[in-house]
């Protein structure tokens, strides 16, 4: 790393986390997760034309609640998951 000498070991003083601080961090993490879920709750599942042949009957999902797995990306500011395999979709 620039500015460091070879053979020199750095150390940092760590302080223990108090019980209340640990709880507050946990609450903050849960709030952040809840906000992320709310933000992406209305994500669109998109099947590209190159993958359409793998889906023999995509209308079978119409009107059903489905779970879709995959990477969430933003398309025109809205969340979407690109579905390239039927294994990414499960009807409930």
Residue 10 reports pLDDT greater than 60: no
| pTM, two decimal places | 0.56
Residue 79, pLDDT score: 85
Q: Measure the CA–CA gap between 51 and 82, rounded to whole angstroms.
A: 10
Q: Measure the CA–CA gap between 43 and 41, rounded to whole angstroms.
A: 6
Give the sheet arrangement for strand 78-82, strand by strand.
44-46, 78-82, 72-75
What percent of the chain lies above the pLDDT cut of 70? 78
Asked if residues 92 and 65 have their Cβ atoms less than 8 Å apart, the reply is yes
Asked if residues 54 and 82 have their Cβ atoms less than 8 Å apart, the reply is no
Q: Measure the CA–CA gap between 60 and 56, rounded to whole angstroms.
A: 9
Residue 38 reports pLDDT greater than 90: no
Residue 49 reports pLDDT greater than 80: yes
Q: Which bin fits 43, alpha (ψ -120 to 50), beta or left (φ > 0)?
A: beta
């Amino acid at each position: 790393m620039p500015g460091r000498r070879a053979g020199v070991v750095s150390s940092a003083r760590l302080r223990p986390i108090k019980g209340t601080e640990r709880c507050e961090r946990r609450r903050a993490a849960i709030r952040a997760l809840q906000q992320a879920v709310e933000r992406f709750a209305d994500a669109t599942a998109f099947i590209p034309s190159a993958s359409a042949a793998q889906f023999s009957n995509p209308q079978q999902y119409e009107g059903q609640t489905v779970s879709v797995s995959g990477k969430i990306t933003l398309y025109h500011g809205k969340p979407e998951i690109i579905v390239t395999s039927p294994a990414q979709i499960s009807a409930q």
